[in-house]
Amino acid sequence: MKRFAFAAATLGLLATAAAIATTTAAAGDYSPAPPPEKLVTIFSNLGRAYPEAIYYPFAGLPVLGPNNANGAPRLDIATAFTVDADHTATKIQAALLYASGTQRADVALYTDNAGAPGTTLKTWRVQNLSNSVCCDVVTVRAPNGIKLHAGSTYWLVAKADSLGPDTVLRWAYGTTDEVHARQFAQYCSSDQGGSSCGDQNDKWLSTFVLPAPAFAVFGSD
């Protein structure tokens, strides 16, 4: 049996400034997504209508530790969402898939600052990241809740932590909207290794991405 990846190739152009990471499929490499709970969906682009494709695991945005095996600089990825009413976030899910290195990362919720991640509201240390083709998600919780305010923009950030400098992850794309670009930001740093970030070193660079990395924010009204 042969397998082929849907990969960057001679015909193509990359969708965003950030590189698209692709992989091949592994047959039967499937973990069912966690069952939904009785929470309000504050934001979601996880494709819950199809449990075997809640995200597209074969392509996404890379999250890189500073000493990753790819020889690339550290790269943090952030995706924005705007809250349409006051909510309290208690659970966040993100389609972060392990690729290589240490199986850990930080997931963090940030406020917005002039169109880029601003102040950290909460950081979660995540270990034992999955590399199932589908449909595991990283789930983090805030039992006491995090207040989100109507009309405000927040950022979900994924980045390598200090204990996983060689981490390589892929934040897989959503399967619900291939039309509307979503605001995202990437933080590039070549301070500890990897190729140069040029004049964008140690800065958040905001742009738009289509399709957007898949994630969901749940909570209460």
Which region, judged by CB under 8 A, interacts with another protein, from 80-88, 110-118, 153-161, 168-176? 168-176
Instruction: Name the minimum Å distance from CB 85 to another protein.
Output: 23
Which region, judged by CB under 8 A, interacts with another protein, from 146-154, 158-166, 197-205, 209-217? 209-217
Residue 13 binds another protein, judged by CB under 8 A: yes
Residue 151 binds another protein, judged by CB under 8 A: no
Query: Of the candidates 166, 140, 133, 148, which has an alpha carbon nearest to the alpha carbon of residue 53?
Result: 133
For another protein, give the closer residue by CB, 54 or 217: 54
Instruction: Name the minimum Å distance from CB 169 to another protein.
Output: 13
Residue 153 binds another protein, judged by CB under 8 A: no
Residue 101 binds another protein, judged by CB under 8 A: no
197: its two tokens: 């970030």
Phi-psi sector, 2: left (phi>0), alpha (psi -120 to 50), beta: beta
Residue 213 binds another protein, judged by CB under 8 A: no
Calculate the alpha carbon distances from 202 to 66, 134, 211 in Å. 12, 33, 25
Among 18, 72, 99, 157, binds another protein (CB under 8 A): 99
Cα–Cα distance for residue pair 52/50, rounded to 1 Å? 5
Q: Of 48-77, which residues contact another protein (CB under 8 A)? A: 49-50, 52-53, 56-59
Q: Whose structure tokens read 């001679």?
A: 10
Residue 47 binds another protein, judged by CB under 8 A: yes
DSSP bridge pairs for 75: 64, 188
Among 88, 103, 123, 132, binds another protein (CB under 8 A): 132
Q: How far apart are the first and last CA of the chain?
A: 50
Cα–Cα distance for residue pair 219/221, rounded to 1 Å? 7
For 178-215, the DSSP string reads SSS-EEEEEEEE-SSSSS--GGGTTEEEEEEESSPBPE
Residue 126 binds another protein, judged by CB under 8 A: no
Which region, judged by CB under 8 A, interacts with another protein, from 5-13, 146-154, 188-196, 197-205? 5-13
Q: Whose structure tokens read 């509307």?
A: 180
Contact positions vs another protein (CB under 8 A): 1-16, 20-30, 47, 49-50, 52-53, 56-59, 99, 131-135, 173-181, 208-211
